[in-house]
Amino acid sequence: MLRLCLIGILLAVLAVTASGMTLVKDGRPACTIVIAPDAGEQEKLAATELQTYLRKMTGATAPVSTDITAAGNRIMLGVFGKAPVAEWQGKAPGPDAFAIETRKRKAGTDLYLVGGDARGAMYAAYELLERFLGVRWFMPGELGEDVPQRKTVTLRKVKWCNQADFDAIGGLTWAGGPGAEDWRRRNKGDVGAPGYFFGHNWGNIIPASEENVKAHPEWFALQPDGTRGDQLCSSNPDVIRISVEKARDYFEKNPDSVLFSLSPNDAFGFCTCDKCRAIDAQYGVTDGVPTDRLIHYANAVLAELKKTHPAKLAGILAYAPHTSPPVSAVPDANYATMICHSPGDYCHVHAMDDPECPENARFRRFIEGWTKVCGHVSVYDYYGHFRVFTPWPIVHDISRDLPYLRRHGARGFESETQQHWANQGINFYLAAKLAWDTDRDARPLLKDYYHRFYGPAEKPMRQYWEAWETAMRGQPCGGYRWLAMFTPELVEKIGRHLDKADRLAAGNEKVKQRIGFARIGYNYTAAYARMQWHGGRGEWPRAVAAGNDALKIIRDTAGMEPQPFWIWLATEVTRGQMKPYLDKLKDAAPADQ
């Protein structure tokens, strides 16, 4: 839900009004961007970005100044209560939040961009550029941005405040890549205190080195065969003591971080010792699920940690064998969890709240169970895939899942968004918008996307992306069964929309480049479909040839901005996908070869 207030008409217009403010007039700057003399890096960057995009829009370069007495119209950018916005009277925005307001004065008009903190002030600048001046950042780099062209820029009277719906948002450019950091920042894709999101950490708390296992086997998880694994024995007093020490050391070195991860390693193999099993029995656990014993361990660590760091959190993922909420263990108030909506375990063919989806019904039970007992619940999802580089057509999921999570008490959202922009970038853009404002209607966002990004080719490009969505919605529920939809016939049929888009974009070079970028993803998808199709029919030479075509398409994208694929990952996984066919081909070769 937007936290907003609105006075007057909240639109950028081209005509001066009695209560309005001119930023640029007839190609000449008509305002000064003012920041504090001691402004931080984010405020300085925000001022530079405002200056840059006003120049891209109009050709005019508005001056940036630290003189808060500057004459004429001024854009006053800063943190609540500090120069140059100290005179602004209003409710203080929260962290990452901001207020935007025009105020008349004798010598001109001030446009206040007031952040609850430095990042909030920076986000106010991006909100001004996007919402009020019409700039878009659909993808990283010049190819991904759309800047309206005009000679005069004027605002009507504005009073607007906004903050993200989740306390924390992250991961939207999980794997990085050229221009990704700029794109994420411009779309307000980082929210929350440092360190709020977390991952597996037992291997860092006590590494399962040969030396450690030999000296202290009791620290590590007893396996059914009597050996020791790399998970920890969470009931062991030394493990608890060392966990406390590591948490304290971490917070001493990272005082701004709010959370220390106590989460097990990325595997199964939990302890079967008598003491761990006794803790299971204490909480009524009969199925071996380790959730309760992990809460018991975290509560013991937090009891000691609070003596020195009473406000800090400790986190354990709700993941794999410990995804379900506890039977009866009660998490400490400073316990945090993050529930993983993994593609293999649940369903992305259907939205989380789809009543006909049994796989997501299980996930809903987990979400609703955890939010009843834990005050710090986040969700971890995958909007860019780690093993699929074709289209990952889940726009229909994103538009429903993020509002569902917010309604049901999730306080944070992180997406492991691998950077495969050619086939999956539409997911990233929509997710950035809806994670910030979960009540926002996806339909006008997508309409704006297709219209602004593809111009004269808007209709066939919308048909292109929606055709993948339609095909996805017709697939079986759960896991990776949806991949069967990528047949050569379907790919060829959907590709006709690209052909039509190319014809309509004739004469518009930037649109043609954007369609060409989508075609890179399409060509990879066609090669992938051929590889799987021929491999499924035992046609090993054709399957291997198609796999090599897919690998070449990936290699040829080196150095592109944005990156069509995360080259390293896409290469390794595609090689793994073609390996069975390559092995079959080798096995079928005559012995003398």
Whether residue 168 has pLDDT greater than 90: yes
Rounded to whole angstroms, the Cα distance separating 280 from 286 reads 7
Whether residue 310 has pLDDT greater than 50: yes
What pLDDT is recorded for position 3? 41
What pLDDT is recorded for position 485? 97
Dihedral pair phi/psi, residue 36, rounded to 5°: -70, 150
Domain ranges for the chain: 12-163, 199-316, 454-588
How sure is the predictor about 591, in pLDDT bands with cuts at 50, 70 and 90?
low
Whether residue 1 has pLDDT greater than 80: no
What pLDDT is recorded for position 587? 87
What pLDDT is recorded for position 19? 57
Rounded to whole angstroms, the Cα distance separating 346 from 360 reads 6
Report the amino acid identity of residue 301.
V
Place of tokens 């003012």: 34
Closest CA to 187 of 429, 448, 445, 439: 429
Please state the rounded mean pLDDT for residues 63-82: 97
Whether residue 16 has pLDDT greater than 90: no
Contacts of 507 (CB under 8 A, 6+ apart): none
Per the structure block, which two tokens stand in for 443?
């339909």
Closest CA to 77 of 108, 106, 119: 119
Considering the chain, what is the average pLDDT of its residues? 95
Torsion angle of the four alpha carbons 307, 310, 312, 315, in this order, in degrees rounded to the nearest 10: 60
Say whether domain 12-163 belongs to CATH 3.30.379.10: yes
In this predicted model, what pLDDT tens digit does every residue of 434-474 receive, in sequence order?
A: 999 999 999 999 999 999 999 999 999 999 999 999 999 99
Whether residue 536 has pLDDT greater than 50: yes
What pLDDT is recorded for position 18? 45
Contacts of 407 (CB under 8 A, 6+ apart): none
- Alpha-carbon separation of residue 566 from 388, 423, 505, 559, 576 (angstroms): 11, 11, 28, 11, 15
3-state DSSP call for residue 419? coil
Give the Cβ contact number of residue 505 at 10 Å: 23
Rounded to whole angstroms, the Cα distance separating 194 from 578 reads 40
Rounded to whole angstroms, the Cα distance separating 98 from 159 reads 11
Place of tokens 């007031």: 114
Whether residue 94 has pLDDT greater than 60: yes
How sure is the predictor about 20, in pLDDT bands with cuts at 50, 70 and 90?
confident
Q: List b or e across 110-126, with b for residues whose CB sees 16 or more CB atoms inside 10 angstroms.
A: bbbbbbbbbbbbbbbbb
Rounded to whole angstroms, the Cα distance separating 260 from 246 reads 9
More confident residue, 72 or 9: 72
- Alpha-carbon separation of residue 374 from 164, 297, 326, 409 (angstroms): 21, 15, 10, 10
What pLDDT is recorded for position 418? 93
What pLDDT is recorded for position 563? 96
Helices within 346-392 (DSSP H only): 358-373
Report the amino acid identity of residue 377.
V
Please state the rounded mean pLDDT for residues 44-62: 98
What pLDDT is recorded for position 9? 32
* Number of separate helices (H) and strands (E) present in the chain: 18, 20
In this predicted model, what pLDDT tens digit does every residue of 388-405 receive, in sequence order?
A: 999 999 999 999 999 999
Helices within 310-420 (DSSP H only): 358-373, 395-407
In this predicted model, what pLDDT tens digit does every residue of 471-523 receive, in sequence order?
A: 999 999 989 999 999 999 999 999 999 999 999 999 999 999 999 999 999 99
Place of tokens 């066939």: 460
Please state the rounded mean pLDDT for residues 354-377: 96
